[in-house]
Amino acid sequence: MSRLNVPPPEEVPADSQRILDSVGAQFGFVPNMFATLASNPTVLEVVMTLQGALSRVLDARTRHTIALAVSQANGCGYCLAMHTHVATKFGGMSGEDVELGRAGSSVDPKRAAVARFAQRVVESRGQVSDAELAAVRGAGYTDPQILAIVTVAVQVQLTNFINNLNQTDIDIPAVSAAGTPG
């Protein structure tokens, strides 16, 4: 059961309601994470603005892979379920690639390097080794892209921390320990 209060619909601040309406149109429902964030319009706006801005960096599958790798590293069941749902339903990723993303890999060698690097960024709190930085560069990523990888990883970590603290009720198909839907 979630530990933070979700405002009832009639108590959602107007600024939050506008954002929730947009989220609902995108997903077909308002996921519990966003409903929880609605109690603080500024926090909801920050999360949504950050997600929107970061949708312009890297390709969608790479961002999904980072989200899966980071959410696994942080043990966030809610985010694993959400990112699995989004990656498969909207991102065209296979169940195998989702599972590999969680494990810090991918069917694509370049994305596998990103997944490993993103996990190391989180696990080391940004203090990656020269060899780890060289590996992601060796996979073909430029320094501006590496900045984007780190920023996406931190954005995912933000929602991981919120959902881990809240113990957000999973309102989308949960994932098994192996990372497959259900």
Give the CA dihedral 60, 21, 11, 172, nearest 10 degrees. -50
The CATH architecture one would assign to domain 9-54 is Up-down Bundle (1.20)
Domain boundaries, the chain: 9-54, 60-164
pLDDT in tens, the chain (182 residues): 899 999 999 999 999 999 999 999 999 999 999 999 999 999 999 999 999 999 999 999 999 999 999 999 999 999 999 999 999 999 999 999 999 999 999 999 999 999 999 999 999 999 999 999 999 999 999 999 999 999 999 999 999 999 999 999 999 876 655 454 44
- pTM, two decimals, is 0.92
- For domain 60-164, is the CATH number 1.20.1290.10? yes
CA nearest to 178, candidates 72, 67, 60, 62 = 72
